[in-house]
Structures are given as structure tokens and as C-alpha cells.
Structure 1
Amino acid sequence: MAQRLGVAFPFLVLCWLSGVTGRLPQGKLSATDIYTVCMTNFLPYQTCVVGDTTPTNFSGYGSELFHRLAARMLWTYGQDYTFVCLDFIDVITDLVDPTGRCDVASSALLVSSQDQKSGIKFGYPDYHTGQGVMVYATSKKTNQWLFLAPFSWEVWVFLFVAAFCVGVFVQLVEKIMTPARTEGEEYEAGHVGYGHMVWSAGAQVVNASEPMSVVSIPSRIITFVWCFVILLIVAMYTGNAAAILTASNVDVAVQSIDDLRGQSWGAYVGTLGTMHRNGWFPTKIYDGGLVSETQFLEDLKTGVIQGVVWDFGFVDYITATSCNYVKVGGFLTEESRALAWWQNASDALISQFNGHVLDLEESTDLKHLHDTFIAPPPASCNEQEASQITKVTFREVSGLWIVLGATILFSLALAVISRYCWRPKLQPILTSTLAETFRKTGNSKGKPLVPTMPVDSFSAEMQHGVLDGKEV
């Protein structure tokens, strides 16, 4: 075991008398010191085998963090420090034992007032986490109205209202622009009336109708924008429906820790103080470590407990790798994890390590370690419930309705101007002016460029939208 030299002065005197060169700037009191760094197997923070000291068998956030901190201290593995894997409870017990072997523990130990009172010294926090609720679910929800879930009810209402308005205004614009077409026998029989247009506009949403039969430019503008709106709406529905159908959609009765009141549920012994202060009283207490984790997972599965409050990183990892374990809500409490030193460790040494942890934090190297080792792996199944998938709301698609409404108003105004201003007044003037100009140009070359049709009769034909028996 490494020499525990927190009570420094007598040993410094001994080192000076014996001629041993000390390396205080590097945080050590003697060149012969080898510090024992204890780890514990705790997913997702660290993996190791209890009792093992082989350096290649240590993998995870705890070991990699200490390697980087030791490199900044100019320490070398095997010469200045070594790893050993112990059970979680043994690590905590060893740190408060004056005759123990652990100089420091690096497995992201929880900073707690209870452990501090027992004599453990904690360094600068290197990871911020909390406690989360996890439950076990086997059954699936059934919902006969799941097909409506992709959109909020406002979107469904406005979709049908929009289809009705498009049909009505397209037919109205057609009546204004081409009255001869909408007043024939087919119109009287109801084949191209308002009802037919409303049906065509609505059925186009599900591709159950032929495109609306329109001939005027304003009507075609409305139809084009309506088809564009349908394209986007269908794409949104398809994407959200696919996400909902592929969700696990598990049936979870517990939606928060308050739902566990009156039921059997468990928690880590180190968080009892926090639990009680918040009015939460677990019925089963687990002392931590691999045995406890295996036990409470089995208890959840067999129904011995209906929920457990545990480290959020562990909860994230388990729910990402097992479909039946479900995370409920977010953080219940906010906590920090840090290097844990034995009670007589040198404050100067701890201060140096704290400075290096802060350097890693400021350089974003610490965040990189979090993302690499602690962030949950890609989920083997989609643990998100269908009810939690965000629906498309009216606010998110309101821009489509604004564009559609503006298009209808613009097309209606264009039709009115064309029918009541352009054709009876402006078009005859422009036609007469152009005809006169072309006639003079043709005469100057000895031949007419346009027929000598009377302007008045030409304008009269154009006012009814028909020329030589054909629609214009």
C-alpha cells in the first residue's frame, strides 16, 4: 500500500535526514511513494474486476481521468501510482480506515455530507449529475386513436377548414373569371359547382380525387399553393406517424416519484438524507456496489419494488441497453462527483489535483471525457413513449395557413379587377390603342397587319370571355 503521508512534517524531517529527494511541486513527499488509486466497477463510469490490479483491465471515465491528471503531475503508472479494483462499499470503508490501502478513489464518487463527516476529503467536482427514477414495464399501450397523434387537434380542424375554403374560393374565382363556363348545363347538374370543388380540394389531401378542374390564372394560383400545403402536411404526418409507430410505447403507471407513494420502492443508502428532506421515504435501501445494482434490477423485474431512485448516469445506461427498464422524468436531485481522498491526505496535494481538474474543465477535455465514457450508448430500442413524441401544433404550421390565406385574397382581388376593371374598361382602351397603332404601321408599309374587325365588336366578345365560339 502507498505511504499515506498527509501528516507531512515528521516524514519530511525523516526524508531530509535520510537524503531522499522530495518532489513537493509534483504533489509527492518522497520519490519512493507509490499512491494506490482505488476503482470500483460502476457503469457507465468505470469497468474493472474486483481484486484486479492489471492496468489494461481498467477502462472508463475514472481511470482515464486519473491518467490525464497524473500526466499533468508528471507521474508515471507503476512508479508513482497504481490501480486496484474494489467493491464500492469496500472503497468507502477503506477511505476512512487509517490502516487501509486506498490513497484516493477515482470512480466519480458522490460528494455527500455523510461521507465528509466520516473523514473523506473530496476534490473539485469533475462531473455533475443527480438521482433519477427507473421502473420496469412489460406491457404495451394500446390506443385505437393513435393515427391522430401526429397532429394536434387544431391542425386537424384547420386542415378541413382550409380544404372547404379552398374549394369555395376556387369556384367563386372561376365564376368571376369565366361566367360562361360555370353557368352551363354541367354547372346546373352540380358537376362543377361549389360542392364538387370542395370535395376535390378535400379529397386531394388523401389523393382520392382528380386535380381540381380550373382554367383561370387566379384559380390555378390557389390550386398550386394548396397542393404545396398538402405536400408539406403529408410529409409532416408521415414523419411523425413513423416515429410514433416505432416507439416502444410501454405502459408505465409511474410517471413521477410522487406516484411511488404508498408503494414499495428503493433508493441508495447514501441519498437517504436528501430523500427524507424532500419528503420521500423509500421502503427498501440498497448499499451500492455491483451486488446491490444486480439485486435491485432483479427486484424491479420480479415486482418486489415498483421503482428505484438511483444515479442518473446508471439509469440512462440501463434504459438505453434494456427495453423493459424505463426512465421516468429527469433529475430528482442535483449532485456532484469528484476524486475522494483518505482522511489524512495532504491538502497541498489535493489542491494541485483540483487545479488540474479545473484546467481540464476549462479546456473542454473534461466534457470530452463525459461524452466518451458517460453519455448513454445508442438505444437498442426506442424508449420514448408515443405520448411523449412532440405533435405538430398549429403554431408550427401557421405560416402555411397565412400563405394560403394571402394567396386566396390575392387571387380573389385579381379576379375582381380582371372582371370588373380590366375587361370592360382598360382592355378595350388598350386593344383599341394597339389596333390603331398596328393599323397605321401596316398602312405605312402598304398592307394591314391586323384584321379590320370593328373594335367595338371585338371588345364586346372579349367581355364575355368568348371569341369565335371559343373560350378566351
Structure 2
Amino acid sequence: MAFAPVLLASLLCVSFWTGVESRLPGANGTIYAREVYTVCTASFAPYVHCIEGNSSPLNFSGYSPEMFKRAASIVGWKPNNYRLVCLTYAAMLRDLTDPNGICDMATASITIQLRRVEAGIRFAYPDYHTGQGLMVYASGKKTNKWLFLRPFNWVVWLFLFLAALAVGVSTRVVEIVSKPKAANRVDDTADDAGVVELVWSAGAQIVNAADPMRAFSFPSRIIIFVWAFLILLLVAMYTGNAAAILTASQVDVSIQSINDLQGRSWGAYRNTVDIMHLNGWSPTVLFAPQNADETEDMLQQLVTGAIEGLVWDCGYVDYTTATRCEFCKVGDCITEDNRALAFWQNATTSLVDAFSTAILTLEETSELSHLHKVFIEPTSTICEKEAAGAEQQVTFNQVSGLWIVLAATIAVSMGLALIGRHAKLKHLHKILKIPTSLGASGGVDKETAMSREKQLKVIDNPVADHIP
């Protein structure tokens, strides 16, 4: 009989060191070495990925398990203070109200609903604010006859042609101010000279449909140089954006809102039918998939056209449209709800408050946003966002610096022209390289004068008379 006390003492020691799996044994938000809590979850993409009936820590991933682990760490729990168990979604919810269940708490982005609170389930502070979103099947590519205008915002197009007008007018004014006679001679020799010709040349240079602008003074040549540089940069931007937009996936969807589904066949989650009817929406097919195969069958009905739209959890819609190119999200969430950690009905208030505080900490430090981007709406995907073309569009703010440089150049050139005309400083004229006679007609006059001078020299030269 002396062996019995020894055996009992050994069993007590073993149970102390291995942990006691119990249903919240006086939990108050702290953990002792002998407490092990059972945290239930359910496979629910993209929130949870697990294998039903499995409890290996390596087989759990997704938004909810990662969020729980970080919150538990803030509370002070160690990995050996809890175990994750994968159940079906329905079994997990039933267990939270079952006195003989095993779940101390559950992490599966469970929606906070009045009927669940009335049943005794307790919730922490919401860690995910979502709702129901509309998803459609994108069957083809969108055609747009005005797609060639998409690389630039309309303001950029407007200022581009206004700048051409400003360059032509300012170049003409600078020419007149700096050298009136030279400017007048241009009018005499050109077919359509003057400000009209310069404005046309400035505008046509945008598409390389005109000869280079003619200028005779240094200040006006500065304006032309900067204008040519601006065109060079804008052409490069247009070419790059046009190539990106033409190769981007532009899906063609006829459904632009849930109102477009009225009178058509469309589906929704069975448990949301009340709020659907409350908003005046009448889904024709109700779904409640319990596993991955049933979820895929639901999506295939969307692909085959059996239903033309699917209203489902926004997180699932974001994840599906980000990872599967054939589906497209329409608009934002059309309803609102919150998801949170759930606790067995007998959980202490201090435990629930401890996790609520931890989740608030994760929210304030942007950890929840990070988890959302990683697991629910991944950006590193082969599917480009359908609005990629619009996002790549060059806006005026992005290139406004070019117009600032052009305006400053015009102002400086005008100042140089005024100084060159009124200062009458010989060294300044040399710096600006303003000759006393320039232009096409000036060149002709100079050649004529040189020819006459040579003729006079030949006549005055007596040797010339003896040339046979």
C-alpha cells in the first residue's frame, strides 16, 4: 500500500509540468505555468487555413491565427499556454455555448451578431471591420475608343496646348522687344510669318509635324530650347503609360452595382438574407458552403453564368479578386459588420478585457492593417488591379514642375530682351550674341553686299582687264 501515495504524487507532478487542459479555470487575463487553453478555429479563407481535426501549430495560417498569436503575446501568453484546434465553423459556434464543449475561445473572424450574444457568446473588441461585397465574373476585355487619351489626365492635355500657345506668343513678343527690325524682316520673307506661324510651330512640334521654330535673338532661343525639352519628357511619359495601359487587364463588366442585379439571378450568404431583404434586395440563390469544395462549386456557378453576381463577405471578395483574375469586385462593401475573438459564455470579464486591450494595441500600431494586406488583400499577385490604367495616368501635379520651368524661362527671356534693348551695353550685346543684322533677309542682304564688293574690286583691278 506504500506504493499508492508515491504513484499519486508522481501523477500530480506530471500533470503540473505537462499542463492542465481545462475550460477557463478562473482565468483573469494572466497565465500560470499549469494552464493550457483550447483555442478553436475553422477553415475559412482567407481568414483561416487549417485542417479539420488537426491541432499541430504548423497547420494553422491566415489572418485570424496570426492576429490571435500577436494578441496573446501582448497579454503575456506563451505558445505552450494554448493549443489551436481546427473544427467546422458550425461545430465551433455550437461549442462556444455548450457546457460540455472544449473551446475556451475561438479565433476565426466570427461576426458579432445579436443572436450570438444572446446565446451567451462573448466577444472582444472587433479586430476586423468589414461587410458584404459584390463580386462578378469578368468575361472579357473592355474596349474603349478613347483609350489613347488615358495616359494623361485631361488637365495635362489642356495645359499642353495652352503652353504651345504661350510659347508661340511669348517668342514673338521677345523677338519684337529684342530686335524689332529683324522681326519685321521675318514678316516680309515668310509665307505665314509672325505670331500665327510661331504658335503653329510650337503646337505642331508636340507631334513632330513642323520644322523647328525660327528665332533670331538669344532670349527667344532659350524659350524654344526649354519647350523642346518639355516635349521630350512628355512624349517619353506618354509612350510608357500608353504601353502599360494597353497591356493592362481591362475587364468588361455589365454589373456596376447591386441594383443592376434586380430581376436577374444572383446569390448571397444564407445568414444574410434578412439584411438583404431589409435593404430591398432579393437574392435568388442562397449559399452556405461548409468546405473548400462547396465554396468552389459556388464560384463555378458564377463562372458558368448560373448566377450573375455573388454578395459575400468583403474579406473573401477582396482575397478572391486579388488572387483570381477572372473575378472582379464591384464597388465597396454594401453592408457593415464586425468580426472579433469569441469566448465561451463563462469567460471572465478580465480575460475578455485583456484581449480587447491587446487588439486595440495592434490596431494603433498598424499591425492589423499589415495582417490585412498580407492575408486578405495581397498586392503581390499576377492579377493587376482593374483600375491600374487610371492609377498610371499622369496627373497635372506630377508634371506641374515642367510648366513652372517654362513660365520662369519665358519671364527670364522677356527680362533679357528688355535689358538688351534698353540698356545699350555693348558687352551685354556680345554676351547675348545679338548681331546688328540677323535673319533670312539680313543674310541675303549680306551676301548681296559681299558680291557687289567683289565686283567693284574686280573692276578697279587693272589686271582684270588682261584676263582673256
Flag whether TM exceeds 0.5 (same fold).
Answer: yes
Listed as ranges, the matches of 1:378-457 within 5 Å are 378-385=380-387, 388-389=390-391, 391-392=393-394, 400-401=402-403, 404-405=406-407, 407-408=409-410, 411-412=413-414, 414-415=416-417, 418-419=420-421, 421-422=422-423, 426-427=424-425
Alignment pair present for 1:170 and 2:174: no
Q: Return the alpha-carbon distance in structure 1 between the equivalents of residues 131 and 374 of structure 2.
A: 19
Equivalent position of 2:107 in the other structure: 106
Alignment pair present for 1:275 and 2:276: yes
Indicate the larger mover: 58-67 or 383-392: 383-392
Compute the displacement of 1:136 (Å): 0.7
Q: Return the alpha-carbon distance in structure 2 between the equivalents of residues 427 and 272 of structure 1.
A: 87
TM-score, length basis structure 1: 0.75
* Residue number among 317, 325, 331 corresponding to 1:315 in the alignment: 317
Amino acid at match of 1:83: L
Are residues 298 and 199 of structure 1, via their aligned partners in 2, closer, same or farther at CA, if it must alter by over 3 Å?
same
Compute the displacement of 1:135 (Å): 1.0
Compute the displacement of 1:223 (Å): 1.1
Indicate the larger mover: 337-346 or 349-358: 349-358
Could you say what secondary structure the match of 2:333 adopts? strand
Compute the displacement of 1:167 (Å): 2.7
Are residues 249 and 385 of structure 1, via their aligned partners in 2, closer, same or farther at CA, if it must alter by over 3 Å?
farther
Contact 2:318 2:329 in 1 (8 A): yes
Could you say what secondary structure the match of 1:293 adopts? helix
Q: Return the alpha-carbon distance in structure 2 between the equivalents of residues 400 and 361 of structure 1.
A: 41
Identity of aligned residues (%): 49
Equivalent position of 2:51 in the other structure: 49
Equivalent position of 2:89 in the other structure: 88
Unaligned runs of 5+ in 2: 1-19, 430-434, 448-468
Compute the displacement of 1:464 (Å): 9.3
Contact 1:129 1:336 in 2 (8 A): yes
Q: Return the alpha-carbon distance in structure 2 between the equivalents of residues 264 and 143 of structure 1.
A: 28
Equivalent position of 1:26 in the other structure: 30
Are residues 278 and 184 of structure 1, via their aligned partners in 2, closer, same or farther at CA, if it must alter by over 3 Å?
same
Compute the displacement of 1:38 (Å): 1.5
Compute the displacement of 1:362 (Å): 4.5
Unaligned runs of 5+ in 1: 9-22, 432-460
Listed as ranges, the matches of 1:54-453 within 5 Å are 54-71=56-73, 75=77, 77=79, 80-184=81-185, 187-190=188-191, 194=195, 196-291=197-292, 292-385=294-387, 388-389=390-391, 391-392=393-394, 400-401=402-403, 404-405=406-407, 407-408=409-410, 411-412=413-414, 414-415=416-417, 418-419=420-421, 421-422=422-423, 426-427=424-425
Indicate the larger mover: 398-407 or 307-316: 398-407
Amino acid at match of 1:48: C
Deviation sequence 1:408-452 (CA, Å, 0-9, x none): 455446535644x34xxx459x99xxxxxxxxxxxxxxxxxxxxx
Contact 1:326 1:383 in 2 (8 A): no
Indicate the larger mover: 47-56 or 33-42: 33-42
Are residues 368 and 297 of structure 1, via their aligned partners in 2, closer, same or farther at CA, if it must alter by over 3 Å?
same
Compute the displacement of 1:70 (Å): 4.1
Indicate the larger mover: 132-141 or 291-300: 291-300
Amino acid at match of 1:115: R
Contact 2:226 2:409 in 1 (8 A): yes
Are residues 141 and 356 of structure 1, via their aligned partners in 2, closer, same or farther at CA, if it must alter by over 3 Å?
closer
Are residues 288 and 358 of structure 1, via their aligned partners in 2, closer, same or farther at CA, if it must alter by over 3 Å?
farther
Q: Return the alpha-carbon distance in structure 1 between the equivalents of residues 202 and 338 of structure 2.
A: 59
Indicate the larger mover: 99-108 or 176-185: 176-185
Are residues 416 and 463 of structure 1, via their aligned partners in 2, closer, same or farther at CA, if it must alter by over 3 Å?
farther
Q: Return the alpha-carbon distance in structure 2 between the equivalents of residues 410 and 271 of structure 1.
A: 67
Could you say what secondary structure the match of 2:141 adopts? coil
* Residue number among 40, 44, 47 corresponding to 2:42 in the alignment: 40
Compute the displacement of 1:166 (Å): 2.2
Contact 1:114 1:270 in 2 (8 A): no
Could you say what secondary structure the match of 2:351 adopts? helix
Q: Return the alpha-carbon distance in structure 2 between the equivalents of residues 146 and 416 of structure 1.
A: 45
Deviation sequence 1:28-57 (CA, Å, 0-9, x none): 8x94x6432221122222211122222211
Indicate the larger mover: 305-314 or 317-326: 305-314
